[in-house]
Each structure stands twice: as structure tokens, then as C-alpha cells.
């Protein structure tokens, strides 16, 4: 089977390798679609690995996808055989073996194509949980790449008043196609004020992964605002910006202290419940909720997809992201002739 790997900085190779077989408790998924997460995947592509230093070995182009269960191992419910599923944590490969508990059956009414990038919306639900979202609060989302756009859609799905922010006109145009109610360039003071209302943001989801995004979050924050960081900050801020961030947050009267800001790191909710836990939320429950809302038409996952091309275009698409093409948001790759 075909399996794509990063083999060095800006280097990608397709390897022909044996198809894996499921052991006890596992399932074999024949891949229909895989999807990129531009932040992590492009970082891994540019640097030759996901960590901070390159080592000369093959690295998975990991993320998410969808497919059909083609074989099951001992102890797996036979009803899963032939089921369409959404999956996360696989590479870009024609088939994958996963624990049965890590595949998510796609409900009727949702296509394999659209379900291929459900993971990021499920993660967005974790960010809302960790950020302490309560019904009808105002949520500002900074950065409208695939992570931020997914978070804005999910926030609207659960009833938030959402203001989505980006500096790139192409990203704002793509977000407009999602049907989001309020969009703004951060420098458009009137639109920002209208989107936030008189009370300002209760929760800010910072998804840009840029220090300028953090600075914007500090600027928008008011008393008791929670800032939930979904973006990954892979490099320290430039010296001048670091001083500005310090002044914004800690110079007297310190916004961080006097306005009682909370800065929250956002990974996913855990795989299983364990004591003590502040809520009954797991990665699986979030995934199931995401797929159910998408199948009902309340979460338009398909609108996140800005390009869907054959699997052999993965390298070309990564290069487009690496070159800074802002029109790309969600990139999905078809591994077979689409049937659903």
C-alpha cells in the first residue's frame, strides 16, 4: 500500500509497504480520505519532523481522515465490519490499523469526505470545555486557518455569540463562506466593537499560533476574560515584541492581575474518565457529538474544505501551504474514487 512520509526538511516520499493486519481488539481501515492540519503538518514538512530539531529518519505526516472498516481482530464487535468511520492519528496512507475504541462510526447523512476532518472540531469542543464556556457567552476566535475556523463553527454550534478575526483577506473570505455571523480584521475597530458587543469577550480562543495573536488577545480582553490557546508557539517572540507583550500583560496596573485574566492551554479532553475530573468529557464523546451535529446539518464540516484532490498531490499541497497561500484552509485528499 502507499504511505507518505516526511524524509527531510521540505522532502516527502511515498513508500510502498505491506498492508497491516489487525490484531485482537483492532480494526483495519481502508482509507477514503485524509486531511491536513496546516499548522502541525506544514511545520513537520518544513523542518523534517514535528520536534524542534531535525533527525535523519522518516516522519509520519500525521493527522486525520476517514474510511471503511475492512477487517477486524479478535474480540471486536462484528457489526463494525464495513462501517464508515472517522479517524485521527494516522498518517497519509492507504490503510491503517487502529484500536477499535479509536474509530468513530459516521452517522447517516454525513459523507466520508466531510467526516475526514471532524477531529479538529472535536478538539474545538475540548477548547470550549477547558475555556469554561457557558451558554450564550461571547467568544472571539483569533486566526481563521483550519483550527480557528473549526473552533468558530463549533462555538456557534453550541450557542455562542462569535466574532472571528484574521488579518488575511483570503481567510476572512473563506470564513464568510462558512456562514459565520460576525467577521472582522483586527484593525477594523467598528466591526470588532460590533462583533463583541458592549460587554466584550468572555472567552478568546487564540488559534493563530503567533505572538501577535497573543498580543491581540490581551488587547481585546476585559475583566475575567479567559484566553484559551489552541495555537502552538514554536519560536520565542522577537525581543521588541516580547517587551510589548510584557507591557501589555504585566506593566502596572497589570492587566493580567487587575483584570483577573486566565491563560489556558488547550489539548484535547482525556481519552477516558479519571478522578478527579471537572466534567464528564472525553475525546470520544466530543468526537461523537461533532459527527452527530454535522450529520444533522448544524455543523457544516464540508464548508471547511477549500480543496479536495487525489492523494498523490499531498507534496504539492504542502508546498502551497509552506509558500503561504492563504486561500487554502482545509485540504483533503481522496485515496479512491469517491462513492459518498
43 and 91 co-located in one domain: yes
156 has pLDDT over 80: yes
Residue carrying C-alpha cell 492523494: 311
- Name the domain boundary from 265, 293, 312: 265
Residue 9 within any structural domain of the chain: yes
Q: What is the pLDDT of residue 41?
A: 85
Phi and psi based region of residue 288 (left: phi greater than 0; alpha: psi -120 to 50; beta: remaining): alpha
93 and 163 co-located in one domain: no
Q: What is the pLDDT of residue 340?
A: 40
Mean pLDDT of the chain: 91
Residue 277 within any structural domain of the chain: no
142 and 80 co-located in one domain: no
Query: Any idea which of 43-47, 112-116, 235-239 has the lowest mean pLDDT?
Result: 43-47
- Name the domain boundary from 218, 239, 265: 265
148 and 251 co-located in one domain: yes
Where in the sequence is the domain holding 85, given as residue range(s)? 2-119+282-334
Residue 136 within any structural domain of the chain: yes
138 and 253 co-located in one domain: yes
Residue 325 within any structural domain of the chain: yes
- Name the domain boundary from 221, 238, 265: 265
Q: What is the pLDDT of residue 339?
A: 42
CATH number, domain of 171, equals 3.40.50.720
| Each residue's pLDDT tens digit, 281-333 | 888 999 999 999 999 999 999 999 999 999 999 999 999 999 989 889 999 99
178 and 78 co-located in one domain: no
3 has pLDDT over 90: yes
276 has pLDDT over 80: no
252 has pLDDT over 90: no
Q: What is the pLDDT of residue 278?
A: 63
11 has pLDDT over 70: yes
Residue 25 within any structural domain of the chain: yes
Higher pLDDT, 336 or 161: 161
Q: What is the pLDDT of residue 48?
A: 81
Q: What is the pLDDT of residue 154?
A: 97
Q: What is the pLDDT of residue 277?
A: 62
Query: Any idea which of 142-156, 204-218, 222-236, 266-280 has the lowest mean pLDDT?
Result: 266-280
- Does the pTM of the predicted model rise above 0.75? yes
Q: What is the pLDDT of residue 176?
A: 92
Q: Is 205 exposed, middle or buried (0-12, 13-18, 19+ CB in 10 A)?
A: buried
201 and 148 co-located in one domain: yes
Q: What is the pLDDT of residue 53?
A: 60
338 has pLDDT over 60: no
How many Cβ atoms sit within 10 Å of the Cβ of residue 137?
20
19 and 106 co-located in one domain: yes
27 and 91 co-located in one domain: yes
Number of domains in the chain: 2
| Torsion angle (degrees, nearest 10) of CA 29, 107, 89, 61 | 80
109 and 210 co-located in one domain: no
Q: What is the pLDDT of residue 103?
A: 96
What nine digits make up the cell of 72?
A: 477486524
| Each residue's pLDDT tens digit, 73-94 | 999 999 999 999 999 988 899 9
Higher pLDDT, 23 or 235: 23
DSSP state of 118: H
Q: Strands, E, within the chain: which ranges?
A: 2-8, 11-16, 26-35, 59-60, 63-72, 84-90, 95-99, 104-105, 138-142, 161-165, 183-184, 203-206, 226-229, 262-265, 305-310, 330-334
CATH number, domain of 25, equals 3.90.180.10
| Each residue's pLDDT tens digit, 96-154 | 999 999 999 999 999 999 999 999 999 999 999 999 999 999 999 999 999 999 999 99
Share of the chain above pLDDT 70, in %: 94
152 and 245 co-located in one domain: yes
167 and 226 co-located in one domain: yes
Q: What is the pLDDT of residue 261?
A: 92
Residue 275 within any structural domain of the chain: no
Residue 190 within any structural domain of the chain: yes
Residue 271 within any structural domain of the chain: no
Amino acid at each position: 500500500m502507499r504511505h507518505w512520509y516526511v524524509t527531510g526538511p521540505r522532502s516527502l516520499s511515498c513508500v510502498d509497504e505491506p498492508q497491516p493486519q489487525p490484531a485482537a481488539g483492532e480494526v483495519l481501515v481502508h482509507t477514503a480520505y485524509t486531511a491536513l492540519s496546516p499548522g502541525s503538518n506544514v511545520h513537520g514538512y518544513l523542518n523534517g519532523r514535528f520536534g524542534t530539531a531535525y533527525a535523519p529518519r522518516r516522519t509520519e505526516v500525521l493527522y486525520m481522515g476517514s474510511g471503511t472498516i475492512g477487517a477486524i481482530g479478535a474480540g471486536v464487535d462484528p457489526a463494525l465490519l464495513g462501517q464508515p468511520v472517522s479517524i485521527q492519528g494516522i498518517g497519509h496512507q492507504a490503510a491503517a490499523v487502529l484500536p477499535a475504541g479509536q474509530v468513530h462510526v459516521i452517522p447517516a447523512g454525513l459523507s466520508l469526505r466531510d467526516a475526514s476532518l471532524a477531529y479538529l472540531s472535536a478538539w474545538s469542543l475540548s477548547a470550549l470545555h477547558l475555556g469554561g464556556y457557558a451558554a450564550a457567552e461571547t467568544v472571539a476566535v483569533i486566526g481563521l486557518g483550519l483550527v480557528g475556523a473549526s473552533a468558530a463553527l463549533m462555538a456557534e454550534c453550541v450557542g455562542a455569540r462569535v466574532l472571528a478575526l484574521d488579518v488575511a483577506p483570503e481567510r476572512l473570505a473563506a470564513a464568510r463562506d462558512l456562514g459565520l455571523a460576525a467577521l472582522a480584521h483586527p484593525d477594523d475597530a467598528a466591526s470588532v466593537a460590533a462583533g463583541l458587543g458592549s460587554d466584550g469577550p468572555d472567552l478568546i480562543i487564540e488559534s493563530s499560533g503567533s505572538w501577535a495573536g497573543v498580543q491581540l488577545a490581551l488587547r481585546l480582553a476585559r475583566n475575567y476574560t479567559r484566553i484559551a490557546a489552541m495555537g502552538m508557539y514554536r519560536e520565542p517572540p522577537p525581543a521588541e515584541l516580547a517587551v510589548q507583550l510584557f507591557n501589555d500583560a504585566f506593566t502596572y496596573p497589570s492587566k493580567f492581575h487587575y483584570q483577573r485574566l486566565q491563560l489556558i492551554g488547550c489539548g484535547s479532553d482525556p481519552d477516558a474518565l479519571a478522578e478527579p475530573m471537572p466534567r464528564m468529557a472525553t475525546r470520544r464523546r466530543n468526537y461523537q457529538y461533532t459527527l452527530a451535529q454535522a450529520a444533522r446539518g448544524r455543523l457544516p464540516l464540508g464548508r471547511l474544505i477549500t480543496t479536495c484532490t487525489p492523494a498523490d498531490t499531498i507534496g504539492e499541497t504542502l508546498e502551497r501551504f509552506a509558500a503561504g497561500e492563504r486561500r487554502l484552509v482545509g485540504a483533503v485528499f481522496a485515496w479512491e474514487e469517491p462513492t459518498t
